[in-house]
Amino acid sequence: MSEDRVAALESKLADMEKRLTVREDELDVQKLQFLYGYLIDKCMYDQVVDLFTDDGEVRFFGGVWKGKEGVRRLYVDRFRKRFTHNTNGPIDGFLLDHPQIQPIVTIEDDGKTARMRARSTMQAGRHKDYVGDEPHLQARQWWEGGLYENTYRKGEDGKWRIHVLNYFPHWHADFETGWANTDPEYVPFPKTLYPEDPSGPDALIDDHWLWPTHKLLPFHMKHPITGEEMTAERWEGDVAREKARG
């Protein structure tokens, strides 16, 4: 076999190995996000926190919780105390299902950073036989829909972890009346920062909105065919041009 043919085969093998690694990384990132969904469904908040990098953060409902301490403050100090009476795990009468669907994963050229756009359509509620005096403990059932634009990192141990969980809940609806009757700001955004609010965010996000306001959450990747940026600015520009045409 000639040296040129050997070199060509080696190059082809190296390319195949690179492509295989990318595909394996994509699957590992998807599995990580799917596991996040299963854990948060069952209010296993301690285990959710363990999925994050030490310098990770969560962007949620107009707030930013920074670092492992901030992530724990959101899931443990806020969610666990509010939803499960400080129990790590499911409790009777409380439903919180987060199906993780339509994932699009991009592995960056460094092989250690990944991004994902995905969707969650949540069913939630509290059973009439398990209620309390506070408003969030009343019997009710509702829907929620939102998008993720997350960032992940591969550690020195070869394991992927969530670096930035950027969950943008777009819409909510009471089960009985549906999304056509949703009040604006169905869920109030946080307004007080940590430490004044012991479970509050470290920073606030200005441009946050809920249905019936409807905007575009920018895509992390470009359009695969045209190479165009798929951002809010691009979309708003297209809308303005259509209006100008009449």
Measure the CA dihedral 192/173/220/61, to 10°. 10
Structure tokens at 122: 């949540």
Identify which of 94, 163, 158, 98 has the alpha carbon closest to the alpha carbon of residue 130.
94
Spell out the per-residue pLDDT of the chain, length 246, in tens: 687 786 777 777 788 889 999 999 999 999 999 999 999 999 999 999 999 999 999 999 999 999 999 999 999 999 999 999 999 999 999 999 999 999 999 999 999 999 999 999 999 999 999 988 887 788 999 999 999 999 999 999 999 999 999 999 989 999 999 999 999 888 888 999 999 999 999 999 988 899 999 999 999 999 999 999 998 775 555 545 555 555
Q: Are 164 and 56 in contact (CB under 8 A)?
A: yes
